[in-house]
A and B are shown apart, each in its own frame.
Chain A
Amino acid sequence: MALFLAYDVANNPLNTNEWAFPVCEVLHIIGFAIAIGTITMVDLRLLGIGMKKETPADLVKGTAPWTLGGLALVLISGPLIFSSDPNLYLHNQSFRFKITALFLAIIFNYTIHRWVALKQASGGVAALTGLISLVLWISVVFGGIFIAFV
């Protein structure tokens, strides 16, 4: 607690080094592009509109390490960006929306999304799963951008 109270954002390298903040943002963008891009590949397959030569199970297995790597990059760069001004983010409605959507999206991805893809579920269930996944991840991106506009 004492450590927390002693934290002064003005001394955070993200606020003192001109390059640190935009570098974190670039890593954040590359990370979410890898994570969301690979998840979208599975979603398109579940929706029955893309990557039809592969099975959903093969796609989810093949992309899983890259999805995880992208998420790791996002979950390292994200909290660093947050640390530059925690009070601003905590009181930002769009940030709260984004974190809620992110939390739901990650849980959904590693439970229902994964099971449905691995178990080769029927068309309707698969399509609905792909659609929910897409909506959740797009919500995360919109929530992130709107932090700067609310």
Chain B
Amino acid sequence: MPPEFIQWLQDTSIATAIRESALVFPIILSLHLTGMGLFGGMILMTDLRILGIALTKHPVSDVVNGLRPWKHLGLTLTATCGILLLWCKVAIYYPNPFLRIKLALFALIIIHALVFRSVYRNIADLDRSPVIPGRAKAAAVLSMILWIGVVTSGRWIGYWEPKNEPVNAAKVVNQ
């Protein structure tokens, strides 16, 4: 994307207001983490139930279907806050490699949802199945890896700093 556009996005009045507010920025960040706390754990519990590790006394479909609307609500909250956090400092974050890793993981999460759509659509089949099929287990394991990757890369965004390129004298002279 052109750097002028990225800078313009960051300089919009709403983005500037969020970035410069002593209260709004940390509140949005807290809501971003609250969303993860309330609903990230539910994603893990869904995956652990499919794997037959957690909540095994409850039918798979009860756990997966019962948690689904809440996971969607949490994802909406977390993503909305995440977009606001990114928007208000987008020129600062744009070159950050961990942001790019995080966005790439989101692309993989969308692909995961498409590839394993049949597993989640026919989740009640697992209630009747004596063993959990390999395809469902693969979906659950990959889901956990992807989401833990998202949290990890997200946290690392804050630790990366652009390296100040040493001034190249020859380049300056030749300009």
Show the binding face of A for B, using Cβ within 8 Å: 18, 22, 25-26, 29-30, 32-38, 40-41, 44, 50-54, 58, 61-63, 65-66, 70, 137-138, 141-142, 144-146, 148-149
Task: Please determine whether A50 and B69 come into contact, CB atoms closer than 8 angstroms.
Answer: yes
**Contact sample, A vs B, 10 pairs, CB 8 Å cutoff:** A29-B151, A30-B151, A34-B44, A35-B41, A50-B69, A51-B62, A63-B55, A138-B37, A144-B33, A149-B22
A30 CA to B36 CA in the complex, in Å? 9
A33 CA to B41 CA in the complex, in Å? 4
Q: Which residues of B contact A148 (CB under 8 A)?
A: 26
Q: Does B39 lie at the interface of the complex (its beta carbon under 8 Å from any beta carbon of A)?
A: yes
Instruction: Count A-B pairs with CB separation below 8 Å.
Output: 102
CB distance from A13 to the nearest CB of B (A): 16
Task: Please determine whether B38 and A37 come into contact, CB atoms closer than 8 angstroms.
Answer: yes
Q: A33-B44, A54-B66, A142-B30 are contacts. A40–B38 as well, Cβ < 8 Å? A: yes
Task: Please determine whether B156 and A37 come into contact, CB atoms closer than 8 angstroms.
Answer: no
Task: Please determine whether A62 and B37 come into contact, CB atoms closer than 8 angstroms.
Answer: no
B159 CB contact (under 8 Å) in A22, A34, A50, A138: A22
Show the binding face of B for A, using Cβ within 8 Å: 22, 25-27, 29-30, 33-34, 36-45, 48, 54-55, 57-58, 62, 66-67, 69-70, 148, 151-152, 155-156, 158-159
Q: A26-B152, A138-B34, A146-B30 are contacts. A41–B57 as well, Cβ < 8 Å? A: no
Q: Which of B55, B58, B62, B156 has the most CB of A within 10 A?
A: B55
Task: Please determine whether A36 and B38 come into contact, CB atoms closer than 8 angstroms.
Answer: yes
A38 CA to B46 CA in the complex, in Å? 11
Task: Please determine whether B151 and A58 come into contact, CB atoms closer than 8 angstroms.
Answer: no
Q: Which residues of A contact B40 (CB under 8 A)?
A: 29-30, 33, 37
Task: Please determine whether B156 and A22 come into contact, CB atoms closer than 8 angstroms.
Answer: yes
CB distance from B148 to the nearest CB of A (A): 6
Task: Please determine whether B70 and A44 come into contact, CB atoms closer than 8 angstroms.
Answer: yes
